[in-house]
């Protein structure tokens, strides 16, 4: 009899503890009422981010919300590079946000971060003065790296690069700050750039305002298209890729 009484007591205690735990969970797992945002935000406002985060929080409760899943969804919001989420007693979440650092426009509708990764900027205007880059999918790091190479290369000559394009077939072209396009092609890029720099410093610099584009896709020379002319003036008739 004593043994049965002990087992019954243990069972009742377990039921009471389970009920108490359930009651405590229900009491703690209240709807999320407040969302706070922290981080060094230079391009987007906290109000914009709160509006973007609101659908992720709506209908969620403080304890049962899946923080990892919410973090993954929050990272899909444009401008957010990293997201950390903390619960704050009794019914709040704090979002610690790391903003993307844009360094270039990308394919007309996105921006590139410092790693060459594209991201959507949504209704937030892109910062002014960014170079305009474009290329096939997954080519952002390559295009950004080559843009940096060109900028460094042209530092002493005073030339600036405002646009850089990598075509689907692998051909490169870039635009100088004064609007002149330079057709670089697919191969022998370094040698072609050396010819361009020599021709620019020797003569073309003085005629920059009259030039539409410069074609470097020739084995030994360059071709120059002038404003008002339909065909470029070619030094060589054999064109390479």
Q: In the chain, count of helices (H) and strands (E)?
A: 5, 13
Euclidean distance between CA atoms 95 and 204, whole angstroms: 55
Domains present along the chain, CATH in parentheses: 34-99 (3.10.20.310), 128-234 (3.40.50.11690)
Interatomic CA distance for residues 65 and 178, integer angstroms: 54
What is the H or E stretch that residue 220 is in? none
Residue 107: pLDDT over 70: yes
* CA 89, chain centre distance (Å): 34
Residues 46-54 have a mean pLDDT of: 92
How open is the CA angle 174-176-179, to the nearest 5 degrees? 105
Whether the CB-CB separation of 186 and 171 falls below 8 Å is answered with yes
Q: Which residue has the higher pLDDT, 104 or 227?
A: 104
Q: Cβ(199)–Cβ(233) under 8 Å?
A: no
Q: State the Cα angle at 92 between 90 and 93, rounded to 5°.
A: 135
Percent of the chain as helix, strand, coil, to the nearest 5: 35, 25, 40
| Angle, CA of 109, 155 and 134, to the nearest 5° | 20
Q: Dump pLDDT digits (tens) for 155-172.
A: 999 999 999 999 999 999
What Rg value do the Cα atoms of the chain yield, rounded?
A: 30
Work out the burial of residue 99: count CB atoms within 10 Å of its CB; fewer than 13 is exposed, 13-18 middle, 19 or more buried. middle
Q: Which long-range contacts (CB under 8 A, 24 or more apart) does 215-224 make?
A: 215/183, 215/239, 216/182, 216/183, 216/184, 216/185, 216/192, 217/183, 217/184, 217/185, 217/192, 217/241, 221/195, 222/195, 222/196
pLDDT the model gives residue 122 = 86
pLDDT tens-digit readout, 13-49: 444 444 444 554 454 668 899 999 999 999 999 999 9
Question: Which pLDDT score is estimated for 89?
Answer: 87
**HSE of 3 in the Cβ direction (CA atoms, 13 Å)?**
0
Q: Which residue, 39, 72, 37, 40, is CA-closest to 56? A: 72
**DSSP, res 125:** P
Average pLDDT score over residue span 4-18: 50
């Amino acid at each position: 009899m004593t043994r049965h009484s002990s087992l019954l007591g243990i069972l009742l205690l377990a039921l009471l503890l389970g009920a108490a735990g359930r009651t405590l969970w229900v009491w703690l797992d209240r709807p999320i009422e407040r969302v706070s945002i922290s981080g060094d935000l230079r391009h987007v406002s906290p109000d914009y981010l709160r509006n973007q985060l609101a659908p992720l929080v709506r209908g969620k409760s403080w304890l049962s919300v899946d923080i990892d899943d919410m973090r993954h969804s929050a990272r899909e919001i444009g401008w957010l590079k990293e997201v950390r989420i903390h619960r704050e007693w009794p019914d709040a979440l704090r979002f610690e946000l790391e903003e993307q650092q844009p360094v270039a426009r990308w394919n007309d509708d996105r921006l590139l971060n410092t790693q060459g990764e594209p991201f959507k900027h949504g209704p937030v205007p892109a910062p002014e003065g960014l170079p305009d880059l474009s290329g096939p999918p997954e080519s952002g790091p390559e295009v950004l790296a080559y843009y940096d190479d060109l900028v460094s290369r042209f530092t002493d000559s005073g030339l600036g690069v405002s646009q850089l394009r990598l075509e689907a077939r692998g051909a490169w072209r870039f635009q100088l700050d004064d609007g002149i396009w330079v057709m670089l092609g697919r191969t022998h890029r370094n040698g072609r750039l050396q010819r361009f720099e020599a021709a620019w410093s020797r003569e073309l610099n003085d005629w920059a305002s009259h030039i539409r584009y410069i074609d470097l896709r020739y084995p030994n020379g360059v071709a120059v298209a002038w404003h008002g002319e339909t065909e470029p003036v070619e030094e060589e008739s054999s064109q390479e890729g």
